[in-house]
Amino acid sequence: MKLVAFASGRGSNFEAICKAVKAKKLRAEILALVCNVKNAPVLKIAKRYGVRAIVVPNDGLSRSQHEELVLKELLPLKPDWIVLAGYMRLLTPEFLRAFRDESRGIFRVINIHPSLLPSFPGKDGYAQAWEHGVCVTGATVHLVGSGVDDGPILDQSVLEVLPKDTVASLTKRGLTMEHKLYINVLSQMSKKEFKVRGRRVEWEAKR
Ligand code: GRF
């Protein structure tokens, strides 16, 4: 399974994926990291793991101009999956179409989101959940659709909000949980196929 990861900042999910590949816990090849922020901490992680970094800053560019530059670098690599891991930009339908899997009616793009979708889409999922006062929250790995955080769900993990929690402590535990969740889903994708019926994802053995 050939992956290209997209990230904009800290890169803890990206690092977890690199670690799992290195430790052979995940059978995948990371072809490159795409990053839209010069000097983002995630770039140091890519360097440490010997992953090629494709840095395309978006400053001063329209969304489509930026995506065009990214696609020019990305398409020759022929990735099986685009793995979004803290990529702080929405992808346009035109970009997604470049990764269309017509037979399954999906885009070959996945994302991790810090809440139990469909609750708390958008930014700062843990802060939204904490402020709302929920007793449980979590994280979701999902296929990327053409709306915001709205594609079919591949897997979720649940996280209890403790009375003593702050946004910071909840986020810390949440991130650790995310790393396991993302690796589990990617590992499942490397071993199994899935179909999508309506919004439901059905896993089956690989042919
Ligand atoms: C994570 O909480 C992820 O769910 C969200 O953005 C954050 C990225 O964190 N999409 P990191 O850069 O992987 O540390």
> For a pocket test of ligand 1, which of 33, 110, 154, 178 has the largest count of ligand atoms closer than 8 A to its C-beta?
178
157 CA distance to ligand 1 middle (Å): 15
How many degrees, rounded to 5, is the angle at CA 67 between CA 3 and CA 26?
10
| pLDDT tens for the chain, residues 1 to 207 | 999 999 999 999 999 999 999 999 999 999 999 999 999 999 999 999 999 999 999 999 999 999 999 999 999 999 999 999 999 999 999 999 999 999 999 999 999 999 999 999 999 999 999 999 999 999 999 999 988 888 999 999 999 999 999 999 999 999 999 999 999 999 999 999 999 999 999 998 776
Q: 103 C-alpha to center of ligand 1: Å?
A: 30
User: What is 100-119 written as a DSSP string?
Assistant: EETTTTEESEEEEESSSTTS
Q: Which ligand 1 atom is the nearest neighbour of the CA of 178?
A: 4
Query: Which of 75, 71, 76 is closest to 56 using CA atoms?
Result: 71
Q: For the whole model, what pTM was predicted?
A: 0.96
Peptide bond into 118 cis (omega under 30): yes
Specify the pLDDT at position 128: 98
Catalytic (active-site) positions = 113
